[in-house]
Amino acid sequence: MLLALLIGWLVLSHGHHGGGDFWFLGGRTPHEMRAEVAKVVPDKEMQNTTDYNLSVIEKEYENLDSQRSKLEKEVLAALERHDTPTEEFQAIQSRADEVNADATRKMLDVRFVMREQLSDAQWRALFPPPDAP
């Protein structure tokens, strides 16, 4: 069961992030978000600051994708050996959890910085609340 969860997490989430779905940016790519910032934020200096923050998020996504690829390869190699002990899979899962938690924390920190730098109206325009069910 643990093995199935680990493989699912690595394969499915790897493809999800690798596909360019930046959920930290409201499902938009950094390029799309930069275009939105140019429309919503008139101050060029603030646009540059926001662009830098978007670059930090984009770099962290790329780092996360790279680390997940390495973990995925480790899992597949362990599966090919057929005699891999459960403890090895648990260690990979622990590292995968750490990688995900670290990247999430870093990206959230940058979003909180962005939130403080933008006005309420600018933030709501860039990150509108989800539609009510």
Is the pLDDT reported for residue 127 higher than 80?
yes
Give the pTM: 0.77
| 11 neighbors 111 (Cβ within 8 angstroms) | no
Burial grade of 36 (CB within 10 A; 0-12, 13-18, 19 or more)? middle
> Residues for the chain: how many in total?
133
What gap in Å lies between CA 69 and CA 87, rounded to an integer?
A: 20
Tens of pLDDT, residue by residue over 98-115, are 999 999 999 999 999 999
Q: What is the mean pLDDT of the chain?
A: 85
Distance CA 132, CA 116 (A): 25
Distance between the two ends of the chain, CA-based, in angstroms?
34
| pLDDT of 53 over the 70 cut | yes
Domains of the chain, by residue range, sit at 2-126
